[in-house]
């Protein structure tokens, strides 16, 4: 079935964490994340026993290295934006969180109304503030528009954004960045 329609939007962002319980507490406290389901909670499926991924080879599905094992998998709702899919793996070749200059995933941007309060919630939940808040610049500039980078306890980079005003790029194109309604 082929379609020329554009994607509807980002449905979820997948993140691997070192400790699913720590990450759950962090995301709930820092970002008001709501746990939708825990893939390993099989109480709604009485006919399934044990690890649901035990007989599934994750290497061809996710591209993980042989011998890697999914220990946990939870899906969270983040406000009115994309969902957050959180994994915990055990693997002898697991690497720490990539730095922003490394290839691939770099950070997740979260739109907030009160950037100061949101940054403080992240710190209260165990995160670390980097420099900020910083006035948005160039194409994103606008009265009261700011961004602020922070880090989760295990190194994930989180960018908070607040954009109460039009961004300067809006004067040059009819296209608009996605915003939750």
Half-sphere exposure at residue 169, Cβ-oriented, CA atoms within 13 angstroms: 11
Tell me how long the chain is.
181
> What pairs with residue 162 in β-bridges?
146
What are the angstrom distances between the C-alpha of 52 and each of 1, 39, 75, 111? 30, 8, 15, 34
> What pairs with residue 157 in β-bridges?
151
Q: Of the candidates 49, 51, 100, 95, which has an alpha carbon nearest to the alpha carbon of residue 71?
A: 51
Please tell me whether the overall predicted TM-score, pTM, comes out greater than 0.75 for this model. Answer: yes
- Please report, for the chain, the start and end positions of each structural domain, with discontinuous segments joined by +: 1-94, 96-181
**Mean pLDDT within 90-98:** 81
* pLDDT tens-digit map of 2-21: 556 766 778 889 999 999 99
- SS3 assignment, position 113: coil
Cα separation of 179 and 76, whole Å?
19
* pLDDT tens-digit map of 125-165: 999 999 889 999 999 999 999 999 999 999 999 999 999 99
**What CATH number labels 1-94?**
3.10.180
Average pLDDT, the chain: 86
- Whole-angstrom distance between the N-terminal and C-terminal Cα of the chain? 30
The CATH class for the domain spanning 96-181 reads alpha beta
Cα separation of 111 and 147, whole Å?
9
Residue 123 has pLDDT above 80, yes or no: yes
């Amino acid at each position: 079935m082929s379609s020329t329609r554009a994607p509807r939007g980002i449905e979820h962002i997948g993140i691997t964490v070192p400790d699913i319980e720590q990450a759950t507490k962090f995301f709930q406290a820092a970002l008001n994340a709501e746990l939708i389901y825990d893939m390993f909670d099989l109480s709604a499926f009485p006919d399934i026993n044990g690890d649901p991924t035990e007989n599934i080879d994750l290497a061809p599905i996710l591209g993980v290295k042989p011998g890697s094992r999914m220990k946990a998998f939870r899906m969270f709702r983040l406000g009115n934006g994309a969902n957050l899919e959180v994994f915990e793996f055990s693997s002898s070749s697991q690497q720490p969180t990539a730095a922003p200059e490394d290839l691939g995933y770099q950070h997740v941007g979260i739109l907030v109304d009160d950037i100061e309060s949101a940054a403080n919630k992240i710190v209260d939940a165990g995160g670390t503030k980097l420099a900020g808040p910083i006035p948005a610049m160039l194409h994103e500039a606008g009265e009261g528009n700011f961004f602020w980078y922070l880090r989760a306890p295990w190194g994930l980079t989180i960018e908070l954004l607040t954009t109460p005003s039009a961004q300067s790029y809006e004067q040059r194109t009819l296209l608009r960045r996605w915003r939750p309604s």
